[in-house]
Amino acid sequence: MSFELLATDHATRGRRGRLVTPHGFIETPAFMPVGTRATVKGLTPDQLRAVGAQIVLANTYHLFLRPGAETIRELGGLHTFMNWDRPIVTDSGGFQVFSLSGTFKPSDDGVSFRSILDGAWHSWTPEENVAIQEALGADIIMQLDECPPYPAEEATVARAVRHSAEWAVRAKKAQTRDDQALFGIVQGGVYPHLRMESVERLQEAGFAGYGIGGYSVGEPHDLMLESLEPVASSLPQDRPRYLMGVGNPTTLLKAIALGIDMFDCVLPTRTARLATAFSSSGRLNLRNARFARDAGPLDAECSCPTCSSYSRAYLRHLVTSKEMLGGILLSMHNLHFLIDLTAKAGAAIAEGSYKGFLDAWMRSPAATDY
Residues annotated catalytic, as ranges: 91, 264
Three-class SS state of 189: coil
Give DSSP secondary structure letters for 327-346: HHHHHHHHHHHHHHHHHHHH
Please state, as a whole number, how many other Cβ atoms lie within 10 Å of the Cβ of residue 298: 26
Report the distance separating Cα 22 and Cα 79, nearest Å: 11
Signed CA dihedral, 58, 64, 69, 71: sign only: negative
Three-class SS state of 212: strand
Alpha helices in 15-108 (DSSP H): 45-50, 60-65, 69-74, 78-81, 94-99
Q: Sheet harboring 121-124: ordered strands across?
A: 104-107, 110-114, 121-124
At 147, which amino acid appears? C
Report the distance separating Cα 97 and Cα 106, nearest Å: 10
Three-class SS state of 28: strand
- DSSP E strands, the chain: 2-8, 15-21, 24-28, 30-33, 56-59, 88-91, 104-107, 110-114, 121-124, 140-142, 181-186, 209-212, 241-243, 262-265, 276-277, 284-285
Please state, as a whole number, how many other Cβ atoms lie within 10 Å of the Cβ of residue 190: 20
The dihedrals phi and psi of 202, each to the nearest 5 degrees, come to: -70, -40
Is 57 within 8 Å of 88 (Cβ atoms)?
yes
Report the distance separating Cα 189 and Cα 201, nearest Å: 16
Q: Which residues pair with 99 in a beta bridge?
A: none
CA angle 221, 223, 227 (to 5 degrees): 115
